[in-house]
Amino acid sequence: MTDVTSTAMLDRKARMRIPYEEPPERPVAERLKDFTETQLPLTPQRAIREASRCLQCPLAPCVKACPAHSDIPGALRKIEESDFLGAADIYRQTSSMSQICGRVCPHEQLCQCACVRNKTHEPVLCGALETFAADAARVHDRFFIHPGSPTGKHVAIVGSGPAGLACAEQLITQGHQVEIFESAAAPGGMLVFGIPSFKLDKSIVESMVEDLRHAGATFRLNTPIGKDLPVDHLFAEGFHAVFLGTGTSIPSGIKIPGIELRGIYAPNEFLARLNVRPEYLPSAWQGRLPIGQKAVVIGGGDTASDCLRSALRMGASEVTCLYRRTEAEMPGGIKDRELAREEGAVFHFLAQPVRFLGDTDGRVCAVECLKCELGEPDMEGRRRPIPLEGSNFTVEAETVVLALGYGPDPEIGGSIPGLEMQSNGLIRADRQNGATSRPEIFAGGDAVSGPDLVSTAMVSGRRAAQSIDLFLRTPRD
């Protein structure tokens, strides 16, 4: 067996000989009892061994596949040399949140998918290694963000999700003063209010926020920007530029009979009530959420997987996902879906809900569906589901969650004169630099791209910060 505890560089053959091992995870029976992270940390020895499996490919397809284009081979080489802090430094050059991305990125569809060792389904575990290095660095140093020389410029950031936080981090390092306006009672956006704790412990987001505060960022929570506090008011307050990272927070609905029944939830309410501290929630969401034994989740994205896994942790014994296409068309992360399945969720494909049935108390008790077949591809290239007349069947449900996707809140765009919007209500902005139709307003993240990933939102926040910096440093009359 190759000795991978030595720091001597291995040749390609020796690296190939190090066998693949599944990433460490808590056993199903144990993890279903709580909302603690599923993924277990790598030990230093396991991390060195795993990093030594990297073939250090000159073309590094993993780097291309990473939305942040992080120098993954460079970081893995540092881990291999036991220089864990050096590895974290490499990730930090391109990522503002590698502790978070290491945990929540769909690596199996990005860097690990591109890894040449994935040809035999034995990719290097880039995600677990990023988490390992970033966690080691956070234990070593509580604060990473070092403010640049003060420029005297003030930037208002609207929204504290990955896009807003990454933009803030970069602007601080460039010497600008940032204030983050957030409509919710806690910062973090979907990192806190969407993604459940079994994927991302909230303390990790809290450390990043603490780091930003320590570096001088201020947060104005419970402060929605829009009709009552318009963006132009922020300029009147003295801000020199504004970044909009308002995400897509409005859950899509479904117009079918029975939708008014009790026990049918939007995913933001469902996930927040199970995963977020009650003091951060509106009072209507603070009570216990009765799930019952049978839960149905409608939809096929990351949100659906998270709702399925949350329902299982609440003790539901029959948890079913209804999706109107087949698994091949499902948009969510494959790994999350596998974990949901492993934990007991049942997937029912080609099923189109047409009616919710209620009991005498006005509570949902079943979902009536039609079977579907797939037709021609739609505008996005996904084959369209065609419901089959007369194929009705029902699935019992005491709780239903509508995980049908999210759209933008029209208020922010509608309240800014001269800000061009896309026809679907998203903000129109240059994807490369965040520029909008108003020179002093920049935008990024899901509010521009539509629902996407933490890493893509983070990257767009960083890119926008570069152009805000340029804008602020350019002399004007």
Distance CA 155, CA 458 (A): 17
Distance CA 366, CA 363 (A): 9
CB of 220 to ligand FAD, least distance (A): 9
Torsion of CA 296, 309, 205, 411, to 10 degrees: -10
Contacts with ligand FAD by CB under 6 A: the residue count is 42
CB of 193 to ligand FAD, least distance (A): 7
- 372 or 454: CB nearest ligand FAD: 454
Contact window for ligand FAD (CB under 6 A) among 90-98, 205-213, 350-358, 447-455:
447-455
Across the beta sheet with 218-220, the strand order is: 218-220, 177-181, 154-158, 241-244, 441-443
- 258 or 405: CB nearest ligand FAD: 405
Q: Is the Cβ–Cβ distance between 429 and 467 less than 8 Å?
A: no
**What is the DSSP secondary-structure string of 83-128?**
-HHHHHHHHHHH-S-HHHHHHHS-GGGTHHHH-GGGGGT----HHH
Contact window for ligand FAD (CB under 6 A) among 44-52, 109-117, 426-434, 450-458:
450-458
Identified binder of ligand FAD from the candidate list 183, 197, 310, 352, rule CB under 6 A:
183
Torsion of CA 105, 111, 114, 120, to 10 degrees: -80
- 10 or 234: CB nearest ligand FAD: 234
Structure tokens at 294: 């049978």
Helical spans, DSSP H, in 115-227:
126-140, 162-173, 190-193, 202-214
Within positions 253 to 272, which residues make up the interface with ligand FAD, using CB under 6 A? Answer: 271
Q: Give me the phi and psi of 285, to 5 degrees please.
A: -100, 5
Q: CA geometry: angle at 195 spanning 54 and 396, to 5°?
A: 115
399 is an interface residue for ligand FAD by CB under 6 A: no
Within positions 118 to 177, which residues make up the interface with ligand FAD, using CB under 6 A? Answer: 158-164
182 is an interface residue for ligand FAD by CB under 6 A: yes
Contact window for ligand FAD (CB under 6 A) among 7-15, 182-190, 344-352, 384-392:
182-190
Identified binder of ligand FAD from the candidate list 137, 446, 462, 468, rule CB under 6 A:
446
Q: Is the Cβ–Cβ distance between 254 and 298 less than 8 Å?
A: yes
CB of 59 to ligand FAD, least distance (A): 25
CB of 7 to ligand FAD, least distance (A): 33
302 is an interface residue for ligand FAD by CB under 6 A: yes
Distances (CA, A) of 224 to 158, 159, 193, 228, 378: 8, 9, 16, 8, 36
224 is an interface residue for ligand FAD by CB under 6 A: yes
If phi over 0 gives left and psi between -120 and 50 gives alpha, with beta otherwise, what is residue 155?
beta
- 217 or 447: CB nearest ligand FAD: 447
457 is an interface residue for ligand FAD by CB under 6 A: yes
Q: Is the Cβ–Cβ distance between 158 and 448 less than 8 Å?
A: no
404 is an interface residue for ligand FAD by CB under 6 A: no
Contact window for ligand FAD (CB under 6 A) among 21-29, 74-82, 109-117, 239-247:
239-247
Q: Is the Cβ–Cβ distance between 223 and 183 less than 8 Å?
A: yes
412 is an interface residue for ligand FAD by CB under 6 A: yes
Distance CA 362, CA 358 (A): 6
Distance CA 39, CA 56 (A): 25
CB of 296 to ligand FAD, least distance (A): 17
CB of 64 to ligand FAD, least distance (A): 18
Torsion of CA 60, 63, 66, 67, to 10 degrees: -140
Contact window for ligand FAD (CB under 6 A) among 72-80, 180-188, 277-285, 417-425:
180-188
Contact window for ligand FAD (CB under 6 A) among 26-34, 356-364, 430-438, 452-460:
452-460
Length of the chain: 477
Identified binder of ligand FAD from the candidate list 303, 310, 352, 467, rule CB under 6 A:
303
- 161 or 385: CB nearest ligand FAD: 161
- Any idea what DSSP says for residue 287? S
CB of 122 to ligand FAD, least distance (A): 23
Contact window for ligand FAD (CB under 6 A) among 80-88, 187-195, 337-345, 419-427:
187-195
Q: Which amino acid is at 14?
A: A
Contact window for ligand FAD (CB under 6 A) among 35-43, 420-428, 441-449, 469-477:
441-449
CB of 163 to ligand FAD, least distance (A): 3
Per CB under 6 A, residues contacting ligand FAD are: 104-105, 158-164, 181-184, 189-191, 194-195, 199, 224-226, 245-247, 249, 271, 302-303, 306, 333, 409, 412, 445-447, 451-455, 457
